[in-house]
Structure 1
């Protein structure tokens, strides 16, 4: 009788193995990964190098010869041939609506990219040789206990964390290579789904002994995010340098997990989740202006189209309710990210509603049954959570896309009328929100949990941002802001400042503090500075906007101070250059205010742009003051306005550099800046 090998887990534990494959009984009960060596009884030659791997974890270079076509639309060959096939076979169409969410390729060895797998195995060995896996698990659990989570992978993060923590129980010389191959084999297995499947059956295909590279991708994305929100965790890091080192290593492993999965060419729901969360991690680690983050977002959008999730998901048969909701959540979050990043960077969006079926999920937790609401309907008992944030962000992003399109036709006679219609819809959207989602008072007066308070602030900021963009669209020039946009900007900045001051009492409900500061706070502060630098503009009169000038100056002072002292960003952080440039300019303005008596501030400023026919108050002392500085340096306010007006929506570093060149600020220096 031939001798049967024991699995690695039983062999290392010196326990009897019943040799069942692919998973023995002991591994089933322990929920561990079950690995059988390919040459279990072959002794390692004594002359073998200490670093050379055993034959068992070797990787073949074979690749999938049948590429996964993904979604094929109405203009493709599949749309024609599906009318020809007599049995109505839909396999050519590539719709992921059937019994699997991955391609079935018979008799093919799925080995992915050999080089990537080896790199991923080495990264895994390095990380787990440096950090304790139980400590990494504890970090994620602590982070989850604070109310935070990954927005799209939320239903699976805790289970993935538990599975990974039980996975690597024993380490020998080549453990990382053995596990890498088994993870790869699991990742190559299609995710089987039919109309009767539930969320537990779906998750079981990538947990415990079915753990895949995607499972690791979710776990290490959670580790990276936890290092951002948890400033001190003695079991893993007590200094900023150690905190950054763990973040870098876990992000790198999340990258490898994603790239290895994608190399198999079997795109599915789980890979899309990992792609999105990996993009979000890079937006934190690399910054929102990074090309790397921009490319990652493009990859996520490409996968969304390849999976066909831009189509009407409800119209596809055989999809269980929970998966339909999960796909809607993925579409809505990716759609929102596309619009917000496009506006932030001033670049064209890549997901156009004209080519997408706009769809958003319900508010409740992901479940196996429920009813599909109309896209914009809210239940009166809707609960605060990531899915509610997803719904609201997508609804606001839809309006932002329409505003962005109007910007391209700004000189159209119907532009103002269309903008008015969008404004009406924006107000109706706000009123349609459940009362418990609307922030009607100061954030500090809301007796809510940290996650809920952050959620209320984010909801209000998104609504104000839509109104802000509409008014910005209608301005002839940003150097002449009208009272309405000044009031909106004042409300935005006041809320951002309040969020900054309450940051230790808030939990990330979908967007981080830095994003709120850069995306909402900077444009608001920029418009307020432009209004305060224009002496002939009504917003200087507090009776026009209801915003006292002292309150605006106070909010600007706090905003600048918090950035300068390093409580929000530090030198070396991804968004430091943008925020420091902006706060230097704000500080120079504030210095100019405190350097002169308030009544002399307006007369000493240069005339407002485009007001050649108006009567301006002359300088009481032509030899001194900012006007004299501007004249000395040969800079006119008209030249400055023309330079600033090159890009209406550019509130990045270029805007702040131009604003710093305002004639009223040129002679003030930047010694008070954040350097």
Structure 2
């Protein structure tokens, strides 16, 4: 006698025949209801209703008439045994490996691979109701507040501008298409419960691959009907980022307050999706990408100085180590080429983020080349590169390489490796070796710059380049990163930052001029890896500070006589004016306090300078000298003004 099979929930409630196919029955597949096609864990078990009080009976009766929120499938569970992840040379795994050295199954990499994925292969129990309910409530609230179709259109509009999520770029389009698939279920009663159940079940499955796996087949494991919480987390991050870059989108927001509300609620939805994913204790590549994009969202919503942002960076680095991506990724067995590049990209981007944030906040870095294999992608071109690895140069000169997030990551990692060496010199205190070691690092920095594809090097003015908005931002970012390495080297060699020398002032002026030019051309730029506000805070503020200190050290020299200060004063004036006008940050933005405080300091200095160079009262009357009305600004006005004796003192400038 064949066992009795239960119908899926859709067929059961509609009282229709079901062919019991899993994961989706034929009827649901033909009617585009894959997301609701779920099977109950105990379909023939009657539900008990206790009769402790009339009010409770009434509540439970109402509950039973609503869509069944109970588990519809065997649910993934948190592991009975902790998932150890990567186990290194000093662990018990390495020691026990010597017991049977000829047994390939005891290879450390093989053991680590099984530890990382084994959690998804364990039996499932019914102890994850809270995760499912939390996820369902997140979906209900977020999509109930902001229309899903409008958010999809916002992300698509944002992508059309040539921008994307830096690490999740290969998957964002597919994640958006997956959310379009969800649109067909929103009118169904209890859709959020059924969809949260499916997401939870899918999220506990391992992402499988072998040497023949392609990027498309890998992506298919977590999109459309295989959607996971990682998929939604990436989409929510894209929504928050799009709401930051698109100032006006009437179907979602038309005021700054509404825009900020969407950014913050999308961040909270991204947080919830990430927490559910991590609660399953089963790390994978997409979860790490989800963590990175969530971290970037927090930098935009909470700010670069926020403890929440700092903590998420630490969590992301912890996952990197647990996955073993600090080891040489090329040596891992059975990995397809695209996944090798993806993991290198993730490791390099997280490594450079660690160094940049550590420098920005003045805190110790968490990832060190002493304990990590420095990962660098095989070329500038990304996943589509087919050049054999043995003919690729370490620095990867490639004349046909295009500006991309992949190339930006590669360059940032190279610069971050030099910044780490400089940070170590700051801490070791061996000043007698500073000059020699700094010379070695500078030679490396110049060699890296020379090895860049020629069209990646910004040599002249940014406004004169015939590049698209992404490329302009890209070449400017590349140049700033290079100058920042030189800036840190010169800062290292100073006796004290309060006594800047000519060499650091020259680099600081180059940095400040480029940052100011980017501010003025901001409407012609799009984010190529880091936002403009980050470039202003990370590169611009230290450079402006050094210039101010240099000017203060030269108080004994009459300021107007110093021709070299004309350009810095102009740049500082524009820098302050743009900040005060709200062109970079507005009141309420996360980095507003940081930039506005710096602007106030610069403004006070500029005001004092202007007071010092103000001309003394002259006996000649300005109006009579100009022989015309003061508000008459025709060409003759400026021609006469240039001949005024009060301006003779400025002729040496």
Residue-by-residue CA offset, 1:70-113 (whole Å, 9 max, x unaligned) = 11111111012123247725468365886996225545116675
CA distance in structure 2 between the partners assigned to 1:347 and 1:381 by the alignment = 39
Alpha carbons of structure 1 residues 539 and 62: separation in structure 2 relative to 1, 3 Å: farther
Alpha carbons of structure 1 residues 528 and 93: separation in structure 2 relative to 1, 3 Å: same
Match of 2:286 among 237, 254, 270: 270
Residue aligning to 1:19:
20
Contact 2:120 2:205 in 1 (8 A): no
Report whether the alignment pairs 1:150 with 2:152.
no
Residue-by-residue CA offset, 1:321-346 (whole Å, 9 max, x unaligned) = 00000000000000000000000000
Alpha carbons of structure 1 residues 100 and 137: separation in structure 2 relative to 1, 3 Å: farther
TM-score, scaled relative to structure 2: 0.85
Following superposition, the deviation at residue 9 of structure 1 comes to: 6.2
Contact 1:482 1:539 in 2 (8 A): no
CA distance in structure 1 between the partners assigned to 2:560 and 2:482 by the alignment = 26
Residue aligning to 1:36:
38
Match of 2:579 among 563, 571, 580: 563
For 1:124-203, what aligned pairs fall within 5 Å after superposition?
Answer: 124-171=139-186, 172-203=188-219
Residue aligning to 2:515:
496
Residue-by-residue CA offset, 1:162-208 (whole Å, 9 max, x unaligned) = 11221252244532222112111100001111111111111111011
Match of 1:384 among 387, 397, 403: 403
Residue aligning to 2:340:
324
CA distance in structure 1 between the partners assigned to 2:12 and 2:561 by the alignment = 79
Residue aligning to 2:612:
596
Alpha carbons of structure 1 residues 31 and 465: separation in structure 2 relative to 1, 3 Å: farther
Following superposition, the deviation at residue 13 of structure 1 comes to: 9.6
Alpha carbons of structure 1 residues 568 and 106: separation in structure 2 relative to 1, 3 Å: closer
Report whether the alignment pairs 1:287 with 2:289.
no
Alpha carbons of structure 1 residues 350 and 200: separation in structure 2 relative to 1, 3 Å: same
Following superposition, the deviation at residue 259 of structure 1 comes to: 0.9
Match of 2:234 among 218, 236, 251: 218
Residue aligning to 1:298:
314
CA distance in structure 1 between the partners assigned to 2:334 and 2:387 by the alignment = 15
CA distance in structure 1 between the partners assigned to 2:609 and 2:555 by the alignment = 16
Contact 1:321 1:367 in 2 (8 A): no
Residue aligning to 1:57:
71
Report whether the alignment pairs 1:75 with 2:80.
no
Residue aligning to 1:366:
383
CA distance in structure 1 between the partners assigned to 2:25 and 2:256 by the alignment = 44
Residue-by-residue CA offset, 1:121-162 (whole Å, 9 max, x unaligned) = 211100111221111111111111101111111000000111
Contact 1:121 1:176 in 2 (8 A): yes
Contact 1:363 1:387 in 2 (8 A): yes
Alpha carbons of structure 1 residues 370 and 434: separation in structure 2 relative to 1, 3 Å: closer
CA distance in structure 1 between the partners assigned to 2:557 and 2:513 by the alignment = 20
Following superposition, the deviation at residue 534 of structure 1 comes to: 1.7
Match of 1:423 among 439, 442, 458: 442
RMSD of aligned Cα (Å): 2.9
Residue-by-residue CA offset, 1:359-416 (whole Å, 9 max, x unaligned) = 1112224249553334422222221100000000000000000011111134431111
Residue aligning to 1:414:
433
Structure number with larger C-alpha Rg: 2
Following superposition, the deviation at residue 116 of structure 1 comes to: 3.9
Alpha carbons of structure 1 residues 523 and 105: separation in structure 2 relative to 1, 3 Å: closer
SS in 1 for 2:89: coil
SS in 2 for 1:511: coil
CA distance in structure 2 between the partners assigned to 1:481 and 1:423 by the alignment = 19
Following superposition, the deviation at residue 23 of structure 1 comes to: 2.0
Following superposition, the deviation at residue 255 of structure 1 comes to: 0.7
Contact 2:86 2:115 in 1 (8 A): no
CA distance in structure 2 between the partners assigned to 1:111 and 1:459 by the alignment = 51
Residue aligning to 2:621:
none
Residue aligning to 1:629:
none
CA distance in structure 2 between the partners assigned to 1:92 and 1:20 by the alignment = 39
- Range 187-196 or range 45-54, more displaced: 45-54
Residue aligning to 1:478:
497
SS in 1 for 2:87: coil
Match of 1:461 among 456, 460, 480: 480
Report whether the alignment pairs 1:118 with 2:133.
yes
Contact 1:321 1:368 in 2 (8 A): no
TM-score, scaled relative to structure 1: 0.82
Match of 1:551 among 567, 591, 594: 567
Residue-by-residue CA offset, 1:284-335 (whole Å, 9 max, x unaligned) = 1111101111110001111111111111111122110000000000000000
Match of 1:449 among 459, 462, 468: 468
CA distance in structure 1 between the partners assigned to 2:241 and 2:12 by the alignment = 36
Match of 1:109 among 116, 124, 130: 124
Alpha carbons of structure 1 residues 569 and 170: separation in structure 2 relative to 1, 3 Å: same
CA distance in structure 2 between the partners assigned to 1:355 and 1:134 by the alignment = 46
Contact 2:10 2:28 in 1 (8 A): yes
Following superposition, the deviation at residue 478 of structure 1 comes to: 1.3
CA distance in structure 1 between the partners assigned to 2:15 and 2:561 by the alignment = 80
Following superposition, the deviation at residue 69 of structure 1 comes to: 1.4
Residue-by-residue CA offset, 1:413-450 (whole Å, 9 max, x unaligned) = 11111001111111111111111100011111111110
Contact 2:351 2:413 in 1 (8 A): yes
CA distance in structure 2 between the partners assigned to 1:334 and 1:87 by the alignment = 36
If each structure's helix is expressed as a fraction of its own residues, which one has the higher value? 2
SS in 2 for 1:270: helix
Contact 2:71 2:129 in 1 (8 A): no
SS in 2 for 1:169: helix
Alpha carbons of structure 1 residues 173 and 423: separation in structure 2 relative to 1, 3 Å: same
Contact 1:378 1:434 in 2 (8 A): yes
Alpha carbons of structure 1 residues 50 and 237: separation in structure 2 relative to 1, 3 Å: farther
**Which runs of 5 or more structure 1 residues have no equivalent in the other structure?**
601-675
